[in-house]
Amino acid sequence: MSSLDEILAAIRQNLPVQKIAYPELPSFEKQGTNLKDQFKVNLGLAGGESYDVESIAEAQEIMLKNLPDTRVSCSSCPEWEGTKSLNAITHPRDLDDVDLGIIRAEFGVAEMGMIWLTENSLKVNSLGFLSQHLAILLDPDAITENMHTAYSDIDFQASTYGCFVMGPSATADIGAYLVRGAQGARSLTVFFIKETK
């Protein structure tokens, strides 16, 4: 008998006799009806803004008003064209000059006011982190209630990269001086608009 077999046999022989039943996990189904309103409140608490819009043109008009100095925009959404094409990107750092990144979120989480992004929605991961400002398109029907339901909504086989984003980047030092945009987007704006497939 090899030493590995001896170790495994000793472990098997000394397993606890009494089986311990694990507690049953409750089902976390959607219960709220005002998920969009809850999302808006929590996004606002994190420093983000949100708008109900009827069209992409309306969203573009709002962003032009809010960010009139935008020179370079880059979009991963076919419905909103940017001034810089993602197809021309050869390296993620090529997006370091983007003023406005436009992304279609896969879904939102009402409990936290955050969105789920993957490489499928970003196309180039750095779009969500090097852009000075983010405009996020979110289908209001794609808002889930909490983190329990969020994780059940994620198809972990559909992408190799994913992240939750909640509001613009913010950091504070010991003196409690809040700095926005230190490690990411300086502003995050969510537009509630149905996704057309």
- Please calculate the CA angle 165-100-145 and round it to the nearest 5 degrees: 25
pLDDT tens-digit map of 10-31: 998 888 888 888 888 777 766 6
Summarised one tens digit per residue, pLDDT across range 102-119 is 999 999 999 999 999 999
Exposure class string for 122-161: b at 16+ Cβ within 10 A, else e: bebbbbbbbbbbbbbbbbeebbbbbebbbeeebeeeeeee
Map out the domains of the chain as residue ranges: 34-192
pLDDT at 83 over 90: yes
pLDDT digits 0-9 by tens, 64-81: 999 999 999 999 999 999
Read off the DSSP letter of residue 107.
E
For domain 34-192, the question of CATH label 1.10.1200.10 is answered with no
Retrieve residue 65's tokens: 């008003």
Confidence (pLDDT) at 137: 98
Mean pLDDT of the chain: 90
What is the Cα–Cα distance from 50 to 41, expressed in whole angstroms? 9
Give residue for tokens 């495994």. Answer: 8
Residue with tokens 């100095």: 69
* pLDDT over threshold 90, residue 58: yes
